[in-house]
Structure 1
Amino acid sequence: MYHIVEKRKIWFLISLVSILPAFVFMLWSTATRGQPLPLSIDFTGGTVWEVQFSQPVQPAAVRQVFVDAGYGDTTVFTVNNDFTAQIKFKPVDAEEKDRLRQALEAQFGPFEELTYRSLGPAVGREVSQAAIVALAAASILILLYIAWAFRSVPHPFRYGVAAVAALIHDVLVTLSFLSIMNLVAGWELDALTLTAILTVIGYSVNDTVVIFDRLRENFHRYRNESFAVVANRSIIETATRSIATQITVLLILVAILVLGGVTLQQFVATMLVGFVSGMYSSIFNATQILVAWDERSLFHRDGKKSVGQGAAATA
């Protein structure tokens, strides 16, 4: 049998290295920019310009006009059909707007302006606060639900804490990736990226619960084995299915990343990294936290105790 639980020192170290860039970047960004994360205009405020062209357009081609003009954080989506585009970019004055209009007309011909409105910083702050509250509420509800679902085993609250810890790990790994990409390619946290992070949270918890559910079954089936051995057995029995399920999702994401174009690149890449992290944390972090808590040691120790003894000792 593979001794996954016994090597938790290695798994925890890998996780620490993976989330460290997020903390370093947030400290640096706070000191130099006044905010921990590189927020896009979805959160800081900006301009929304909806225009209708006389010919079908590709969002990537429209965005390139703004990138060439010096607005690299611009996002473009088609609305209803390929003739109408919604463009989000930083606030500009009337003269700069006319210059951008001329650039668009030179590339795509005359167009009709449907709407042009500004999103103020106050609205952006409200969106940011709502996102933080949503993440906090989701974490608390997940913790309470898992604690209730595993009430038939000793210390069910620990299962909820371990699941939320794995969830936070995946969010931090994703933020580490975004931090690196911000320095390399100027990526910023926008509404789509937030959607990707929330999706990652759901998948992370799903995989973790699958392993925990097998652990609950084996807990009653192998009462004479130590908690660490039962946990290790449960991981091995479910890891193949978890990895196979995730690989099918990852293949689809890779295909979209390669063929989906520039506008979806950041969204899909964020989910791709988050799903890989979720697969890792479910197998190598969540259950290890339970074992470390039971043995009262972050790292493996030679002393073995039965499940019954472990429950009595930690009661």
Structure 2
Amino acid sequence: MGFRLKLVPSDTRIDFFRWQKLTFGLSALMMIASVIVLFVNGLNFGIDFRGGTTIRTEATQPVDVAAYRAALSGMDLGDVSITQVFDPGFRADQHVAQVRISAQDGVESVSPETIRAIEAALQQVDPSITFPSVESVGPKVSGELIRTAIYAVLAALVAISIYIWLRFEWQFSVGAIVSLVHDVLITMGVFALFQIRFDLATVAALLTIVGYSINDTVVVFDRLRENLMKYKKRALREVMNLSVNETLSRTVMTSGTTLLALIALLVLGGDVIRGFVFAITFGILIGTYSSIYVAKNFVLWLGVKRNWNKDDPETQEGRKKRVKSPFEGAEEV
């Protein structure tokens, strides 16, 4: 007999509505807190959205942020941000920093001459310093990228709502959209709270979260629709609990295996993709939570139309109408 790994027993009977008010209130509180943090702190836009130039430095000597700043202080560069980059994958003699120069009024980006002057000034501080990459984005381009990113997320939400509406009923569509807005808003709130860099890669991560979350929600909704047709006499809450329990093993296995790869990337992938990987990792966790505790709570609150055209196998009428198989009760030869 082959070995089958089961992280969740096949006959779970968890009451997911036991703490319904607590989970629903927690979700509402997190969404409100995310909106407040977004307005108060704002997002830490990367160079893609802010415009300007980012110079990545690498040296064998430890980074001296104060010395770097002093070397650039007399160059009239405007807003300059210097941050040291830490990563467990770096060598012992590998010290990395980012020099971020915001775009100035009337200037698309820092000129090549200015970049060479910046590099020369930093090499006066540390002769071993090198410059692996230089990225420049103009203010006009960054503004267009912000609008395009917003349109992309909104278009994804609209397309998904139409798909859910056509495949199920409008109550399911409302529950799915509220769940997706919940996931995206709270993820952005976490980015604003911890001032994690928000760039185009993060937008791609948000779209990935939307797709992953809706996939998980559709699986639960699909099983719920089947059970609503099978168990017409059961209460809606009971059928929902049954549906989530029946798909719980699939949810845990899918999310768990995905998280294994993401955690490896989060630890070993380096600082360049850390924001992207963190967004997807957090999004999968919050998306799994919302599929179970947010989407179906809205469906329960709105109610759904029950299909009474199919007999319930657990009722006396359903048992009477069952057709007995000619092989039922036969002895094995």
* 1:122 to 2:157 alignment: no
The Cα of 1:72 is off from its aligned counterpart by: 4.2
What fraction of aligned residue pairs are identical, expressed as a percent? 32
Residue 294 of structure 2 is matched in structure 1 by 285
- Listed as ranges, the gaps of 5+ residues in structure 1 are 30-35, 50-58, 76-86, 151-155, 296-305, 310-315
Q: Aligned partners of 1:23, 1:198: CA distance in 2, in Å?
A: 19
* 2:81/2:99 contact within 8 Å kept: no
1:95–1:137 distance in 2 versus 1, CA, 3 Å: closer
The Cα of 1:131 is off from its aligned counterpart by: 1.0
Residue 236 of structure 2 is matched in structure 1 by 227
The Cα of 1:276 is off from its aligned counterpart by: 0.4
| Alignment partner of 1:10 out of 13, 22, 26 | 22
1:43–1:160 distance in 2 versus 1, CA, 3 Å: same
The Cα of 1:61 is off from its aligned counterpart by: 3.8
Cα deviations across residues 257-306 of structure 1 (Å, max 9, x unaligned)? 111122222221121111100010011111111001119xxxxxxxxxx9
Query: Residue 217 of structure 1 aligns to which amino acid in structure 2?
Result: E
| Alignment partner of 1:27 out of 32, 39, 46 | 39
Query: What secondary structure, in the 3-state scheme, does the structure 1 residue paired with 2:128 have?
Result: helix
Q: Aligned partners of 1:168, 1:73: CA distance in 2, in Å?
A: 32
Q: TM-score w.r.t. structure 1 length?
A: 0.72
| Alignment partner of 2:48 out of 36, 42, 54 | 42
* 1:65/1:103 contact within 8 Å kept: no
**Which 10-residue stretch deviates more, 64-73 or 197-206?**
64-73
Residue 273 of structure 1 is matched in structure 2 by 282
Residue 168 of structure 1 is matched in structure 2 by 181
Cα deviations across residues 161-185 of structure 1 (Å, max 9, x unaligned)? 2111111111112112112211xxx
* 1:141 to 2:159 alignment: yes
Cα deviations across residues 199-219 of structure 1 (Å, max 9, x unaligned)? 111111110000000001101
Residue 213 of structure 1 is matched in structure 2 by 222
Residue 71 of structure 1 is matched in structure 2 by 81
Query: What secondary structure, in the 3-state scheme, does the structure 2 residue paired with 1:71 have?
Result: strand
* 1:46/1:89 contact within 8 Å kept: yes
Residue 206 of structure 2 is matched in structure 1 by 197
Query: Residue 40 of structure 2 aligns to which amino acid in structure 1?
Result: W
Question: How many aligned residue pairs are there?
Answer: 260
Q: Aligned partners of 1:74, 1:124: CA distance in 2, in Å?
A: 24
1:258–1:293 distance in 2 versus 1, CA, 3 Å: same
1:61–1:241 distance in 2 versus 1, CA, 3 Å: farther
Q: Aligned partners of 1:191, 1:74: CA distance in 2, in Å?
A: 21
The Cα of 1:73 is off from its aligned counterpart by: 6.8
* 2:197/2:275 contact within 8 Å kept: no
- Listed as ranges, the gaps of 5+ residues in structure 2 are 1-12, 70-79, 86-97, 104-109, 309-333
Cα deviations across residues 184-242 of structure 1 (Å, max 9, x unaligned)? xxx23111111111111111111000000000110111011122211111111112210
Mapping of 1:238-257 within 5 angstroms? 238-257=247-266
Q: Considering only aligned residues, what root-mean-square deviation do their CA atoms show, in Å?
A: 3.1
Q: Please state which structure has a larger fraction of its residues in helix.
A: 1
* 2:58/2:132 contact within 8 Å kept: no
1:112–1:144 distance in 2 versus 1, CA, 3 Å: closer
**Which 10-residue stretch deviates more, 6-15 or 250-259?**
6-15
| Largest Rg, 1 or 2 | 2
* 1:44/1:124 contact within 8 Å kept: yes
